[in-house]
Amino acid sequence: MNKEVKYIFVDLDGTLIRTDLFLESILKLIKQKPLYIFQIFFWLLQGRQLAKAKVANLVEINVESLPYTTELVDYLKVQKKQGKRLILATASNQTFANTVAKYLGIFDQVIASDSTNNLKGTNKLASIQSIVGSDDFIYAGDSLADRPIWQKAYSNIFVDAPIKDIEKARRNGKAEKIITHTQSTGIAFIKAMRIHQWVKNLLVFVPLFTSHSYYEPATAFSALIAFFCFSICASGGYFLNDMLDLEADRSHSTKRFRPLAAGTLPLSIGIASAIILPLLSFILAWLLLPLSFFIILIFYYIAINAYSFIIKQVSTADVMTLAILYTTRIVAGSVAIGVALSSWLLSFSIFIFVSLAYLKRYIELYSLSEATNHSVNKAIGRGYSVSDQETMFTLGIANITASVLVLSLYINSEEVISLYQSPQLLWILCFLILYWGNRVWVGARRGKIADDPIVFAIKDRVSQLVGLGFLIVVLSAKYFQI
C-alpha cells in the first residue's frame, strides 16, 4: 500500500454522488413531459446506452444541488494536490459526466457511456486498462458491478459497498479507503413513507365519530381498513412526489434531508415503492370494502398524481386540490362504513382545509424568504412568490373563520337536537377551533412552525390538548344532559 499509484478512477452514481443520474433524468423528463414514459420504454428495448443518450439530450441536471459524497470529494481534492491523476469513470452518459466534472473541477479526464457503449462492469474495466496500460490504478466504487474493477485495481476505495467486497479487500491489503453512511436503507425507507403524515388519514374516522357508530365492531373494523388503505396509498404518493421534486427539495432548508433528495434511499427503491404501495392499497380496498370506496381511492390516487405532476405548480388550484384531497378522506370514511355524509360536515371541512392548505404554502414561503434573505423571490416548483405571503395570511384566517361560522350554524340546526343530549356544549368547539386556528397562523407568521402544520400539530402540546378537549366536548354533549 506504500507504492505510489498515479491513477485514481472514480465511479459517479452511488459513489461520487448518492443518486443515479439516469433514473433522475428519467424522472425529470417524465415530470416535464409525462407521455415520454412510453418513448423511454421503446429506447430501453434498443439498449440502455441508447436510452441514456436520448434522455441526456432532453434533460438538464442541476449538478450544484446533487447529493455529493463529501468525504470522498474532500479525499480526492487532497490526492489531486499530491499529483494524482483523477479520472471520472462512469456508466452515466458522457453529457452528465462532463457537467459534473466541470462543476467539481478536480478531474483530469472523463470516460462515460455514449449512444453505443454502456460503460459498466467489464466495459469500464477495458476502458480503464486502455488508459493505464501496465500501470497500477486505484478505483472508487460502490456496487457489485464494480467487482471486476476492484479485483484488477492495486487498491480500492469503497462507498457504501457490499461487506463481502470490503472484507476481501482488507484481507488482501487493498482497502485504500472505506466510506460508509450510518443510516440504514430500512430506516430511510420508513422515513420516506412519512408515517407521521398518516395522521391526516384519521379523517376517515370522522364519519364513524360523528355518526356515533364507533361501538359497532364491524363498522369500526371497516373504518380501520379504510385508514390503512389511504395511508399506504398516500405513502406511495409521497414516494412519487419526492422523486419528482428532487431538485426543489434539495434547494429547501429542511426538505433537502428527505431520504430520496439526500440520497440515503436509492431511487430504484423509491420507484418500486411508488408502484407497489398504491397497488397493495387497491387490493385491500377491492377485497374488504365496498366498490364505491375502491372508486374513491382510485380517484384519490389519480388526484395526488395530478397534483404532483401539474397542479402543485399552479397557484390557488394547488390549495383547492389539497382541500379536496383532505375532504375526500372524510367522504371515503362515510362510504366505507355505509353512513350518509352530512352537508354540514362537508362545508365545514372545505373551509378549514383550504385554510390549512394556505398555511402549508405560507410556511414554505416564509422558510424560503428566511433561508435566502429575500434573494430568491419565487418558490421552486410552486406558483407563488414571497410577496404572496400577506395574501395567504388573509385568506387563511378568512377560511378558518368561515369554518367556525358553518359549525355555529350546524349547532343551531334541528339535526343537532336529535343527536345530542346537551347540544349547547358544542359551542365550546367554536372557541377551540378559533383559538387553535388563530394560534397556528400567528405562530406561522412569527416563524415558529418549521415545515408542515400537521407535523407541528402532532408535536405541539397545546394542539394535543385542544384535540383532547374537542373529543371530550363532543362525547359530553352526546351522553350527558345538562
- Average per-residue pLDDT in the chain? 89
Looking at this protein, which amino acid is placed at residue 308?
S
Residue 13 clears pLDDT 80, i.e. is over it: yes
pLDDT at 378 over 70: no
Give the pTM.
Answer: 0.82
Q: CB neighbours of 302 closer than 8 A, spacing ≥ 6?
A: none
pLDDT in the model for residue 2? 53
What is the pLDDT at residue 27? 92
Q: Is the pLDDT of residue 374 over 60?
A: no
Helix 317-337 and helix 291-309, axial crossing angle in degrees, nearest 10: 160
CATH number of 185-479: 1.10.600
Write down the architecture of domain 7-179 according to CATH. Answer: 3-Layer(aba) Sandwich (3.40)
Q: Which pLDDT belongs to residue 130?
A: 94
Q: At what angle do helices 217-244 and 21-32 cross, to 10 degrees?
A: 100
Structure confidence at residue 382 (pLDDT):
59
> Which whole number is the average pLDDT over 427-433?
93
Please report which confidence band the pLDDT of residue 384 belongs to, taking 50, 70 and 90 as the band edges.
Answer: low
Give the residue extent of every domain in the chain. 7-179, 185-479
What is the pLDDT at residue 472?
A: 93
Q: Tell me how crowded residue 51 is: count the other CB atoms within 10 A of its CB.
A: 23
* Residue 53 CB neighbours (<10 A): 19
> What phi-psi label fits residue 256: left (phi over 0), alpha (psi between -120 and 50 degrees) or beta?
alpha
pLDDT average, residue stretch 87-104: 95
Q: How confident is the model at residue 383 (pLDDT cuts 50, 70, 90)?
A: low
pLDDT at residue 94 is higher than 90: yes
Q: How far apart are CA 447 and CA 388, in angstroms?
A: 16
Q: Answer whether residue 33 shows pLDDT above 90.
A: no
Kindly report, residue by residue over 267-282, the tens digit of the pLDDT: 999 999 999 999 999 9
Mean pLDDT computed over 215-237: 93
How much of the chain exceeds pLDDT 90, in percent?
58
- Identify the residue with better confidence: 218 or 450: 218
The answer for residues whose C-beta is within 8 angstroms of residue 370's C-beta and 6 or more apart is 253, 447
pLDDT tens by residue, 183-205: 788 899 999 999 988 988 999 99
pLDDT tens-place string over residues 437-478: 999 999 888 888 866 777 788 788 998 999 899 889 988 988
- The C-alpha atoms of residue 293 and residue 340 are separated, in whole angstroms, by 13
Counting runs of H as helices and runs of E as strands, what totals does the chain give? 22, 6
Higher-confidence position of 315 and 2:
315
- Could you tell me the CA-to-CA distances from 431 to 354, 387, 403, 404, 426 in Å, in that order? 19, 31, 12, 8, 10
Running DSSP on this structure, what letter comes out for residue 424?
G
Buried/exposed code over 230-262 (b: 16+ C-beta within 10 A; e: otherwise): bbbbbbbbbbbbbbbbbbbbbbbeebeebbbbb
Q: What's the confidence (pLDDT) of residue 377?
A: 57
**What integer pLDDT is reported at residue 451 of this predicted model?**
65
pLDDT, tens digit (0-9, with 9 covering 90-100), for 385-421: 777 788 888 998 999 999 999 989 888 888 788 788 8
pLDDT of residue 474: 87
pLDDT at 371 over 80: no
